[in-house]
Amino acid sequence: MARGTVVMTGGLIGWDGDETLADGFLAQVDQTLANIVAVLAEADAKPNHLVRLTWYVRSIETYRASLRDLGGIYHDRIGRHYPAMALVEVANLVEPDALVEIEATAIVPD
């Protein structure tokens, strides 16, 4: 349970400000998490304000095979804060070369 100002992102993917998509699953996760942190900052929110992440991945097997490296990437971008999360394998994403898309919800205390 949380109270405060709700900050929600749409689905973000692993591209940079020039809309260049990072190469490979881990690089896309890293850039996607960086994008989430940047959007949160625009709303004066921080990663520790996250209350929910929904991950959409093109391959659950790639996700599972990457768990060891994902932990480090997540820790570097989000820290040791673990909000409620869901992960769903999808057949496709709007951006054809995207391998992961993440939606985030944060609540900034009043």
- Domain around 63: 5-108
pLDDT at 2: 85
Backbone angles phi and psi of 53, in degrees to 5? -130, 135
Q: How many domains are there within the chain? A: 1
SS3 assignment, position 63: helix
The alpha carbon dihedral of 62, 94, 92, 51 has a sign of positive
What CATH number is attached to the domain comprising 25?
A: 3.30.1330.40
Distance CA 71, CA 32 (A): 14
pLDDT at 53: 98
pLDDT at 38: 98
Structure-block tokens of residue 1: 């349970």
If pLDDT is split at 50, 70 and 90, which confidence band does 63 have? very high
Q: What is the pLDDT of residues 96-105, one digit of tens each?
A: 999 999 999 9
Identify the residue with better confidence: 110 or 5: 5
pLDDT at 57: 98
Q: What is the pLDDT of residues 6-62, one digit of tens each?
A: 999 999 999 999 999 999 999 999 999 999 999 999 999 999 999 999 999 999 999
